[in-house]
Amino acid sequence: MRIEVQVPHLEPLHWLARQTAASKTYWSDRHGRFTMAGIGTLDVVAGDLPISYPAVFDRLRQKLSPLFPRVRYYGGIGFSQNRQIDPSWKSFGNYRFVVPRFEIWMDESGTFFACNFFGTPDVAHWERELAQILVELRRVDLTQLPVTVATPVQIARVDTPDRYQWQQNINLALAKFTDRQLEKIVLARKSTLLFASDLQPQILLLLLQPHNYPSYHFCFQTDPQTAFIGTSPERLYYRHDRLLATEAIAGTRQRGTSSELDRQLSDELRNSPKDIHEHQLVVNNLRAILAQICDAVTIEPSASILKLNKVQHLYTQCQGILTAELTDAQILPLLHPTPAVGGFPRPQALKLIHELEPFERGWYAAPVGWVGYDDTEFAVAIRSGLVTGDRLLLFAGAGIVTGSQSAQEWLEVENKIRHFTDLFTPPHPPTITANRSHIEQ
């Protein structure tokens, strides 16, 4: 159940940064039409074992009601669903969805402060619940003052794998293309940035916001030291009743420093056989999946250019009308991971990713979003980073196809993390130490 009151305009992310709650949740759609900032946890559905999609989505649906359509579970699902979870990702598990206790909700109808709670006919329960809500409410800061946004001081960085191992990995992957085991694989890097003091996840997101439109913005903070944040341009899917919308984003160029150079790079992207092939693999995969689960399918006949602050991509919108009996528990595992973050064919690409990447992806490139009573939206958690105290672990990948060159793919990954790294200027050059468990200055 839910109670809402309309309030004067309150910037959700500034409000969230001021709160002292250990658990914080933030979600904003990529056009800014809906934003939610939440604190506390009314309910958590989480697990360390590999997810059972029917069981988890049934649990979520049982607690949601058409009477309270703004009550939603926010969270995500791990990329690989490993039985042994990397310690950095332990608090996120293989899946974790949260209904916050309190929310600032903002859409075209205004700004609202909301309290979520469980309903029951037991009077004694109501009294206990109300007492607990009042205790928690006294800790909520409802002032409208903006927080101070200061740029953190970076003191070191390490890339995993380093340039040499990156080249070796790409050569090993390209060898699989020659015997037709693979058509595409997405290999990722992890860049660990060390700072002079502990990071504040919401401050990082405030620094990122002006530079990453149109993108989903998210923050899933599990404790005061740990949060997964990102500004993803890529929708995995949106479902409202039987309407399903998804998209293909693959093929990348950096943005130009002038309008003329930017146009030249766009034209180069549109006409690049390598990037067209990489993008078309994603489109073909989506077309095949939608044909299985939809009565009607509409796919744009040609790719357009999606322009972000630092990079631009080939982009194709797709949608369909779902067959009546399908649920999110069936849709999600069909769409994730797409060839844009995994590869094609999927089984062979995922096996090679596991063999070559010297780190666990955790929630990077995995589905993050929200689940409502009759609608659902997931983004692909790219352009993302894991905050752990004074460290920021950045993740980004490059699509490897026939003709890929390791130096160009290294540069593509650098461009994809620039919206983070451009925020920080190290006071002096760090010592780069690859594939170590610590960072040396």
Residue numbers annotated as active site? 184, 234
Contact 50, 35 (CB under 8 A): no
Other C-beta atoms closer than 10 Å to the C-beta of 167 total 16
Q: Strand 294-299 to strand 311-322: parallel, antiparallel, or no bridges (unpaired)?
A: antiparallel
Three-class SS of residue 424? coil
Helices and strands per DSSP (H, E), number in the chain: 10, 22
Contact 104, 17 (CB under 8 A): no
Contact 358, 330 (CB under 8 A): no
Contact 217, 31 (CB under 8 A): no
List CB contacts of 125: < 8 A, sequence separation 6 or more: none
Three-class SS of residue 171? helix
Peptide bond into 345 cis (omega under 30): yes
What gap in Å lies between CA 377 and CA 395, rounded to an integer?
22
Q: Strand 235-240 to strand 243-254: parallel, antiparallel, or no bridges (unpaired)?
A: antiparallel
Three-class SS of residue 175? helix
List CB contacts of 16: < 8 A, sequence separation 6 or more: 24, 26, 37, 38, 39, 104, 202, 219
Taking Cα atoms as reference points, which of 33, 12, 37 lies closest to residue 109?
33
Distance (Å) of CA 388 to CA 60, 89, 138, 278: 28, 10, 28, 34
